[in-house]
């Protein structure tokens, strides 16, 4: 049986995404724009396609309209193919009136939609991680180990270990699990992660929240044995280790969990480095997204340093540095942008619309003239006037304003906000 027939992928859309607020105020977490032209959900879907897994369900329940639209407009397969990417939104049914209560409950409530599709294995993925991984290698390892469950693991150092579920393994099999261990417990949780990882001090195996289940076992666990369990990481996995063959698949590449504004900001700005950890330019691991018919970017009189620019942008800035510039962005004359993620715009303003906005004293779409913007995320369709100064940093206290939010020193200008001329943050 080919890998495309023997496995189904289930991508978990996550909860309300409160830690990514305000980016999740009007969209679900998987729909948050990343790297200037993609959405977070494009990462696991692309990893599946590159691994020849082409039957996928995306589970979601919060603010799912833009995610639905993105998937409908993006993932079209041949009429002669069995491939699909389908959204399964939380729904009330006569036998289950509640919303998804956790990761395991989300999959449990979706089993009746998954059941008609043949497969040997179910691959469960998170919708909010940045990585490039060949799942076929993980499936081969699962078969070789004759495992019931496989967990993708990544070696982490002592500093990061308390933030993760940590596993202990022996001969490739997981023997025990602890959720977010306190630092004093860590010496008991060292695993053999290999010579190279050991040299880097990465000697603890963290769960990546990526699982392969034998299909029959998954159905039995969720419908019978653990029918009250709501979460994979906290209940299903720890309680399965002693009873079933649970295998570790160690991944040594780049992986980050985009759980909060700081990690989201760092992941995006990391793409501007000369040799970024996450490689957008990999011939064999393309990231797929909606194909937009946009013109090339246009740049005039600007100094650009370590900057990623998406198509359709018009840049007249004096300097743009260490910044990701999203689709259809517009930056005015004399403006400096440093260490920012500009998500861009959903449409171009016409010359007539720009004239009307100016007559009304309203900023045009994008960033105006003579602005200084540093350490900021500018969400979609924002209008920033002239002479605006946004200077993010640790000197700013966390706050939530009608136009922006400050988290960990990062200023997040809200979607559709209008920032008047001369405004200072």
User: pLDDT tens digit string along 20-63?
Assistant: 999 999 888 889 999 999 999 999 999 999 999 999 999 887 67
Q: What is the mean pLDDT of residues 94-108?
A: 70
pLDDT of 2 reads 62
Do 175 and 168 contact (CB within 8 A), yes or no? yes
pLDDT of 29 reads 86
How confident is the prediction for the chain on average, in pLDDT?
A: 91
pLDDT of 384 reads 97
Question: In the 8-state DSSP scheme, what is residue 80?
Answer: T
The residues that bridge with 253 in the sheet, in sequence order, are none
Q: What is the mean pLDDT of residues 111-135?
A: 92
* Distance between CA atoms of residues 317 and 294, nearest Å: 21
* Distance between CA atoms of residues 213 and 150, nearest Å: 7
pLDDT of 111 reads 85
- Range from 4-18, 100-114, 195-209, 317-331 that averages highest in pLDDT: 317-331
pLDDT of 245 reads 94
pLDDT of 340 reads 98
Q: What is the DSSP string of 24-51?
A: TSSS-GGGSEETTTEETTHHHHHHHHHT
pLDDT of 19 reads 85
Q: Is the dihedral of CA 364, 366, 370, 375 positive or negative?
A: positive
Do 221 and 227 contact (CB within 8 A), yes or no? no
Predicted confidence band of residue 231 (pLDDT cuts 50, 70, 90): confident
Q: What is the mean pLDDT of residues 282-286?
A: 90
User: pLDDT tens digit string along 366-423?
Assistant: 999 999 999 999 999 999 999 999 999 999 999 999 999 999 999 999 999 999 999 9
What residue ranges define each of the domains in the chain, with the CATH number in brackets?
3-270 (3.90.550.10), 298-419 (2.160.10.10)
Q: What is the dihedral of CA 154, 207, 128, 400, to 10 degrees?
A: -110
Predicted confidence band of residue 238 (pLDDT cuts 50, 70, 90): confident
pLDDT of 339 reads 98
Question: In the 8-state DSSP scheme, what is residue 144?
Answer: H
Q: Which two tokens stand for residue 35?
A: 């790297």
Residue 96 pLDDT > 80: no
pLDDT of 91 reads 57
Count other Cβ atoms within 10 Å, centred on residue 52: 13
Closest CA to 278 of 66, 71, 57, 46: 46
Where do the DSSP E strands lie in 198-357?
204-214, 246-250, 255-257, 298-299, 303-309, 314-315, 319-325, 330-331, 336-342
Residue 192 pLDDT > 90: no
The residues that bridge with 391 in the sheet, in sequence order, are 374
* Distance between CA atoms of residues 187 and 204, nearest Å: 9
């Amino acid at each position: 049986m080919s890998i495309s027939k023997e496995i189904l992928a289930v991508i978990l859309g996550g909860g309300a995404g409160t830690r990514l607020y305000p980016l999740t105020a009007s969209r679900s977490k998987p729909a948050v724009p990343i790297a200037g032209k993609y959405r977070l959900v494009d990462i696991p879907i692309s990893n599946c396609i590159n691994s020849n897994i082409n039957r996928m369900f995306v589970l979601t329940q919060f603010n799912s309209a833009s995610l639905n639209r993105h998937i409908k407009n993006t993932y079209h397969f041949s009429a002669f193919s069995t491939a699909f990417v389908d959204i399964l939104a939380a729904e009330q049914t006569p036998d289950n009136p509640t919303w998804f209560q956790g990761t395991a409950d989300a999959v449990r409530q979706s089993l009746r939609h998954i059941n008609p599709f043949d497969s040997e294995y179910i691959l469960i993925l998170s919708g909010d991680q940045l990585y490039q991984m060949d799942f076929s290698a993980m499936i081969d390892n699962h078969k070789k180990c004759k495992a019931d469950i496989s967990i993708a693991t990544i070696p982490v150092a002592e500093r990061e270990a308390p933030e993760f579920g940590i596993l202990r393994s022996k001969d490739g099999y997981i023997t025990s699990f602890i959720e977010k261990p306190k630092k004093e417990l860590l010496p008991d949780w060292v695993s053999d992660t290999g010579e190279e990882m050991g040299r880097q001090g990465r000697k603890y195996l963290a769960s990546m929240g990526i699982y392969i289940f034998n299909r029959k076992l998954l159905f039995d666990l969720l419908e019978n044995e653990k029918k009250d369990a709501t979460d994979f990481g906290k209940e299903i996995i720890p309680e399965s280790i002693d009873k079933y063959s649970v295998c570790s698949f160690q991944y040594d590449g780049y992986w980050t969990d985009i759980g909060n504004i700081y990690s989201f900001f760092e992941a995006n700005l990391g793409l501007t480095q000369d040799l970024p950890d996450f490689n957008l330019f990999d011939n064999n691991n393309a990231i797929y997204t909606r194909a937009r018919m946009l013109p090339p970017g246009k740049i005039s009189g600007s100094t650009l340093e370590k900057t990623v620019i998406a198509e359709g942008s018009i840049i007249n800035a004096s300097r743009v540095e260490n910044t990701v510039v999203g689709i259809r962005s517009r930056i005015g004359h004399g403006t400096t942008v440093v260490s920012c993620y500009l998500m861009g715009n959903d449409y171009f303003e016409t010359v007539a619309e720009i004239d009307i906005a100016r007559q009304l004293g309203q900023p045009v779409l994008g960033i105006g003239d003579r602005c200084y913007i540093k350490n900021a995320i500018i969400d979609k369709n924002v209008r920033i006037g002239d002479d605006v100064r946004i200077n993010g940093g640790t000197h700013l206290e966390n706050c939530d304003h009608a136009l922006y939010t400050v988290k960990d020193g990062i200023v997040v200008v809200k979607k559709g906000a209008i920032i008047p001329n001369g405004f200072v943050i």
